Amino acid sequence: MEKVRRTKRFKRKRERKHLIRNLPIKWSFMLYVISCAIVAVVLIMFEFVFFSTLMDDLWREYEPYSTQIEHYYSTYDSSIIYSYTVLESDLVMIYDEYIQKYELYNMLQVLFVPVLSFLCIMATGILFYNRKLREPLGLIEDASGKIAAGDLDFQLTYDRQNEMGRLVTSFEIMRRALVSNNKEMWRKVDQRKCLNAAFAHDLRTPLTVLRGYVEYLQTYVPQGRVTEEKIASTTDVMHAYVTRLEGYTTSMSMVQKLEEAEMKPEFIDFDLLTQRLKSTADILCRANTLHFTAQGSGTVWTDIDIVSQVLENLVSNASRYAKTAIRVHCHINQDHFLELIVSDDGEGFPDALLQKGIAPYSRLNDNDIHSQHYGLGLYICKTLCTSHGGDLTIENDGGAKVVATFEG
């Protein structure tokens, strides 16, 4: 029983200490000011008592030197009105010394009032700064210097739940936002490098072919060694490559716009989301059988336009390669991400694509120059998923299977 009481007392003491440590700055300052006033009043009272005692001791020290001389004031009928005591004239020097000491003590007694008040205020300010302000301000100052130097590899922690604690927490949130923005910036830079490299690589082939045909025509047409049919077929091939180059430039511009697009997530009912996705998939799968399933409830924090665009691209790709059926499954995974799984019963992804991963301008058939698909479908979907905090993966499972995730 005694142990339980001690535990309760310790718990109450700890709660009071926690409450005092986390008092708002304004209430803490007021508490320090009140404490300062109380201490100052107590010190001034002691100071008054001290100097009053000194002056009493001073009087007792000089009292033996005084002589009781009575002076009388009387009326015409010789009746005494009053009398008083004075010092003898030969004790004037001692009396002057007494007066000097008495006035000194009296002056010090008055002077110590503002001095003690000032010292109490200074001590209170120093104590308040050291206990309430120095640590959080030091943390913020150090963090500011590191951020200015480009160093974001640190973490701010402060265990107080007052205004300064919230300020440090806000600074930590800002640091995390900067880290996230930097990661996003470098991700986009890497994507842009990859896109530019792929774009330059794919431009090389059609440009080489066009240069070869131009040199061929320049060499043999003047000599009359090329028939009209050959010229016509050559120009058809050149036109196909020019169209391909135009498609590359258009797709490049489109991908850049997608990378710069701003995500606009909002809360949307899961059932409403799946209904919209199913309607979109139904329209795109008229030539195939669609099996659409969904598992989840409540609301989802997502950008419906991005999710719909990803679904459209994936289902469009699947409809081109599926034999008879396309399966779409939508659910919330264990990481609370919205997950779209699109699969078909086609031949699946080639091993080269699975090994290299998703990259721009990587097509299943590089020899088909008349194809209007520039290997961007999966890359666009991956870019959109990444911008939404998710990812996109591909695999073969009885056909092609794509898993797209979106942070919710």
pLDDT tens, residue by residue, 56-66: 887 777 665 55
Least confident of 216-225, 282-291, 361-370, 378-387: 361-370
Of 124, 148, 172, the last residue of a domain is 148
11 and 131 co-located in one domain: yes
Dihedral sign for Cα 250, 255, 257, 263, please: positive
Q: Are residues 66 and 10 both part of a single domain?
A: yes
pLDDT > 60? residue 253: yes
Structure tokens at 401: 């299977």
Higher pLDDT, 103 or 70: 103
Q: Coil, strand, or helix at residue 285?
A: coil
Same domain, 14 and 119: yes
Report the pLDDT value the prediction gives residue 202, as an integer from 0 to 100. 67
What's residue 68's pLDDT? 47
If one counts the domains in the chain, the total is 3
pLDDT at position 84: 45
Instruction: State whether 219 and 321 are in the same domain.
Output: no
303/284 Cα distance (integer angstroms): 21
Average pLDDT over residues 168-192: 86
Claim to verify: residue 352 and residue 307 sit in the same structural domain: yes
Q: Using one digit for the tens of pLDDT, what is the confidence trace for 14-57?
A: 666 666 667 788 888 899 999 999 999 999 999 999 988 888 88
Asked if 304 and 268 touch (Cβ cutoff 8 Å), the reply is yes
Length reported for the chain: 408
Quick check: 243 and 369 in contact, CB under 8 A?
no
Q: What are the φ and ψ backbone dihedral angles of 343, each rounded to 5 degrees?
A: -140, 160
Taking only the tens place, the pLDDT of each residue in 271-284 is 999 999 998 888 88
Which of 260, 289, 304 finishes a domain? 260
Torsional sign, CA 128, 129, 130, 135? positive
- Which of helix, strand or coil describes residue 22? coil
Q: What pLDDT does residue 54 have?
A: 85
Strands 400-407 and 337-344: antiparallel
Task: Give alpha helix (H) positions in 163-227.
Answer: 163-220
For the entire predicted model, the pTM comes to 0.54
226-236: average pLDDT: 83
